[in-house]
Amino acid sequence: MRLALGVSYGGQGYNGWQSQSSGNTVQDKLELALSEFAAQPVSTVCAGRTDAGVHGLMQVVHFDTPLERAMGSWVRGTNRYLPPDIAVQWAQPVPDAFHSRASAIRRRYAYVLLQSPVRPSVDAGRVGWVFRQLDGQAMRAAARHLLGEHDFTSFRAAACQALSPVKTLYRADITRRGAEDSPTAYWRFEFEGNAFLHHMIRNIMGCLLVIGQGQQPADWMRQVLAARSRDAAAPTFSPEGLYFLGPVYAPHWGLPTRTAPYDWLP
């Protein structure tokens, strides 16, 4: 039987998703918990790997198992062995043809940012932070240059293993929560694309914030994109406010599209 799981996690305590010798990754913790529950080794494949400090609202994984147990048991039983900041949200049987990564047709990310003269406190580790006021109109104009199919080399980390830097960005929405005349506000940047390069969102965020703070005009984003050089872009921004919202699958797989953590995120 092939099973798919939806997993949520806070990433600030882990060295990213992918298994490492330290054992301090989300994948390591999940596979250890699944193996405890199943009383046999379990190896998972995920929809999209996340870096250290990046959170997941609905990471999707799949694995094969000979065990026949109720789906609710897979959820509750695995969660019994997981740390408090990782939880399986749902479990569902899928056909053998399903692959959590290869079957995904789109992926979604959100970046939550605090604009405030004072650094974060209760939301430390869960939001990015800038102390200067941001120009939403300029950032939205800049983001429009990124929509469509492009070579995103300028936003690609040196360690990126993707075969091609050409990706398609379908959506880049920017919303602000807070009084317009207040120096304090929360910003949400939401991105949807067919796939993303290593550090691509954080590098885009770095450029958007340079523009939002008035250090470059909105058209500078077009120049950075056209340069196809990492040196042309702003420094990589903090991982703390980045959330992997999850993959998008074709409807015929019948998988959930939303989990409870979506309603918590600002």
Q: What local confidence, expressed as pLDDT, does residue 266 receive? A: 64
Q: How far apart are CA 212 and CA 136, in angstroms?
A: 7
CA 220 to chain CA centroid, Å, is 25
Domain borders along the chain are 2-103, 106-243
Q: What is the CA radius of gyration of the chain?
A: 19
pLDDT value at residue 259? 86
DSSP state of 178: S
Helix (H) or strand (E) segment spanning residue 143: helix 136-144
Largest CA distance in the chain: 59
- pLDDT in tens for each of the 266 residues of the chain? 999 999 999 999 999 999 999 999 999 999 999 999 999 999 999 999 999 999 999 999 999 999 999 999 999 999 999 999 999 999 999 999 999 999 999 999 999 999 999 999 999 999 999 999 999 999 999 999 999 999 999 999 988 989 999 999 999 999 999 888 889 999 999 999 999 999 999 999 999 999 999 999 999 999 999 999 999 999 999 999 999 999 999 999 999 988 888 787 76
Q: Is 106-243 in the same CATH topology as 2-103?
A: yes
Query: 193, 169 in Cβ contact below 8 A?
Result: yes
The helix (H) or strand (E) run that includes residue 15 is none
Q: Does domain 106-243 have CATH number 3.40.50.460?
A: no
User: What is the pTM for the complete model shown?
Assistant: 0.95
Evaluated on CA atoms 246, 248, 254, 258, the torsion sign reads positive
- CA of 239: how far to CAs of 37, 103, 176, 187, in Å? 32, 26, 19, 15
CB 205 within 8 Å of CB 239 = no
CATH for 2-103? 3.30.70.580
Token reading at 214: 């008035």
Active-site residue set: 51
